[in-house]
Structure 1
Amino acid sequence: MGADTRLEELGMSGLGGTGVGKVDEPEFSELAKRHRRELHVHCYRMLGSFQDAEDTVQETFLRAWRRRETFEGRSTFRAWLYRIATNACLDLLAKRRPEPATGGEVLWLQPYPDRLLDELAADDVDEPETVAVARETIELAYVVAVQHLAPRPRAVLILRDVLGWPAKDVAELLGDSVNSVNSALQRARAGMREHLPAERQDWTGSDEDTRTRELVRRYTDASVAADISGIVTILRDDVRCSMPPTPGLYVGRDAVVNDWVESGFEGMTNLRAVPTSVNRQPAVAFYHRREREGAYLPLTIDVLRISGGAIAEIVTFHADQFPQLGLPDHLPPG
């Protein structure tokens, strides 16, 4: 049973929000948390940070509880929560990041675990977020491109193109005219074309076909062996490599390889790897043997974008992301 249906049963969908106002906090929280994952994904797209999305969802529920008398039943409970969440994201962006990302880098970028995205897939297939995830709007390159948009056009793009909201509803949320929303959407789409990979429609994404699995296996084996020459054979000429929050975006095979050589990659030994998936993309988590601890401890996780039978992008995250991705905190020796 959906939360909106439950609202109707409780008499909470009438004008004036009198029904919502009569519900106690545990009941309200139970209704709201049914939308928690989709709201979290929405905030993640807006903010590019898993942790900021977590904080913003908490703020959304707090605001919703405090403003429960304002729910008038003219829209669904879900849409009401999305309005609050979007405004909470805009408030956070105004405070923490008044300027959008530039130069192709998003230093605050964090990964989103597929195990949590699977919670959306388990819901009704007609839910808007389920469709949105299937449209690959959760992949890292999309999230990075979105972060290059100013906050309000960013909100317009996500509400219109990802969630499918009518222009009049977006205009009402933002306090703008429909014409302003439509103009912002066109600017946002143009901005996305500038920052998305040209071959985006050809991405293999998380499709686990034989070719993709073999490519990931070769990348994993060569990485564990610190075999740069082996990795080079499966990189595109225009491969991109970054490691947020560490500054530095390397574009092109030569630039990427030179960075690896300078960072001492070839001397990295005693590695083990765990295949996983992040943001609906193949990923490999690496662990490094520590003699003192007698175990392999988290090192980095590489998230791969594959295009045309080669690796087009590698986004590396630090070990502090392992817990939220549900990865083991160590691997035993052997």
Structure 2
Amino acid sequence: MTDDEAAFIAAARSNDAAQFALITEPYRRGLQVHCYRMLANYEDAQDLTQETFLRVWRRRESFRGHATLRTWLYRIATNACLDFLDRRNDRTPVPAELPGADSEVHHLQPYPDRMLPEDPQEAVVARETIELAFIVAAQHLPPRQRAAFILRDVLGWPAPKAADALDLTVASVTSALQRARVTMRERLPDRRLDWRRPATHELSDDERDAVRSYIDAHERNDLDGLTALLRDDLRFTMLPDPGTVTFTARDAVDGWVSNGLFQRGYDDWRCTATTVNRMPAAALYLRAPGDPEYRLFTIAVLRVVEGKIAELTGFDAADKPWLDLPATL
């Protein structure tokens, strides 16, 4: 038993809430990322992390040190997320309005990099498991299959440990994992699937260049320059608006033009480079006619392949202080 685990038991027996909080707080960011992988929504992940700590406090005397404190906390967080998903029927992908566009995850939100774990052991989890494509693909797994996949293939838990956490047999967890892997391979055909092997956290030169060029095109109202940055098979989505997913650059650009991009009222931009979900992004600020300030409008998250934008996911950025972006410029 580690010193932390012994201290946790002592705090539980003495009902020392302050010491309990001191011991469990270092696990918060890791648990919140875990909840985000389960739920794809930053605000829900915050709420479920808090729910996890409430459950931990209520069950504090049941911890005996037979498992590590970290394992015990992640087990409670996983089941809190599963309980949440059992109650909600709006947390599954819905058919896209555009024929052939598969489905959309309307509840998807970006995850601010500043809230990722600071602990190096937590931070070595592969970069891909926080990227939007991975998070979206995981949402296509049934909740318990998703939990088995994350516990086994992302956190690296052995099958008996995952089975115990989910109150399933080892055979059931193994079967769920095999089905989950098939789905993930179908939805991420061009990605490596060794999720537990660390990947770099640094943006590549191509990614940095793409963000700079994207910002430059927006600020100059350069539609041709913007179009030149896009791969022909661009996947574009604007959330939380339904029916915006497109699968070609031409369709995306046509949609932007028809909605008035770079026309009066949508032609005075200032942008800043940032990152979310370990991905390059641009925060777009729009100044309306007569307004003295540029106001935060959207955040565009880019996936760059061979120097061009392969995926562009836009999020409504207003009233989301957790993105840590200034409201005005």
Deviations 1:71-114 (A, max 9, x none): 12101111111011000000000111377324341100001111
TM-score normalised by structure 2 residue count: 0.90
What secondary structure sits across from 1:243 in the alignment?
A: strand
**Alignment match of 1:284 (pick from 282, 285, 298):** 282
> Is 1:93 paired with 2:85?
yes
SS of the equivalent of 1:247 reads coil
Worse-matched range after superposition: 19-28 or 175-184: 19-28
Q: In the alignment, what sits opposite 2:232?
A: 237
Counterparts of 2:68 and 2:200 in 1: how far apart (Å)? Answer: 33
Q: TM-score w.r.t. structure 1 length?
A: 0.88
Task: Encode CA deviations 1:178-197: one digit per residue, 9 max, x unaligned.
Answer: 1110110010011111222x
Q: Which residue of 2 aligns with 1:255?
A: 251
Check 1:99–1:139 CA distance in 2 against 1; reply closer, same or farther (3 A cut). closer
Q: Tell me, what secondary structure is at the counterpart of 2:93? A: coil
Which deviations, in whole Å up to 9, do the C-alpha atoms of 1:236-256 show, x marking residues without a partner?
Answer: 111101011111211111211
Work out whether residues 298 and 329 of structure 1, in 8 Å CA contact, stay in contact via their aligned partners in 2: yes
Unaligned runs of 5+ in 1: 13-17
CA distance in 1, matches of 2:27, 2:201: 25
Letter matched to residue 44 of structure 2: D
Q: Does residue 190 of structure 2 align to residue 199 of structure 1?
A: yes
Q: Match of 2:74, as an amino acid?
A: Y
Q: In 2, distance between residues paired with 1:270 and 1:98?
A: 36
Distance 2:103 2:16 in 1: 46
Q: How does 1:192-231 map to 2 (within 5 A)?
A: 192-196=184-188, 198-201=189-192, 207-231=202-226
Separation in 1, partners of 2:175, 2:34: 22
Partners of 2:105 and 2:2 in 1: CA distance: 36
Question: Aligned runs of 1:26-41 on 2, under 5 Å?
Answer: 26-41=18-33
Contact 2:273/2:282 (8 A) holds in 1: yes
Deviation at 1:262, TM superposition (A): 1.1
The CA distance in 2 between the partners of 1:257 and 1:114, in whole Å, is 29
2:8, 2:23 within 8 Å by CA — same for their partners in 1?
A: no
Percent of residue pairs identical: 47
Does residue 70 of structure 1 match 2:62?
yes
Partner Cα separation in structure 2 for residue 153 and residue 92 of structure 1? 15
Aligned counterpart, 2:123:
130
Structure 2 CA distance for partners of 1:35 and 1:327, relative to 1, 3 Å? same
Q: Indicate if the aligned counterparts of 1:104 and 1:144 stay in contact, CA closer than 8 A.
A: no
- Mapping of 1:139-218 within 5 angstroms? 139-196=131-188, 198-201=189-192, 207-218=202-213
Distance 1:98 1:178 in 2: 30
Q: Give the superposed CA RMSD.
A: 2.1
Q: Shift in Å at residue 282 of structure 1? A: 0.4
Aligned residues: 314
Task: Note if contact 2:109-2:315 (Cα within 8 Å) is conserved in structure 1.
Answer: yes
Structure 1 residues 216 and 66 mapped into 2: Cα distance closer, same or farther (>3 Å)? same
1:291 Cα deviation after fit: 5.5
Cα distance, 1:21 vs structure 2: 2.9
Rounded to whole Å, the distance in 2 between the matches of 1:26 and 1:100 is 38
Aligned to 1:111: 110
3-state SS, counterpart of residue 100 of structure 1:
coil
Could you say what secondary structure the match of 1:305 adopts?
Answer: strand
Deviation at 1:294, TM superposition (A): 1.9
Distance in 2 (CA, whole Å) between partners of 1:220 and 1:322 is 21
Distance apart, 1:206 and its partner CA? 5.9
The CA distance in 1 between the partners of 2:140 and 2:3, in whole Å, is: 38
Aligned partner of 1:264 among 260, 265, 271: 260
Q: CA offset at residue 307 of structure 1?
A: 1.0
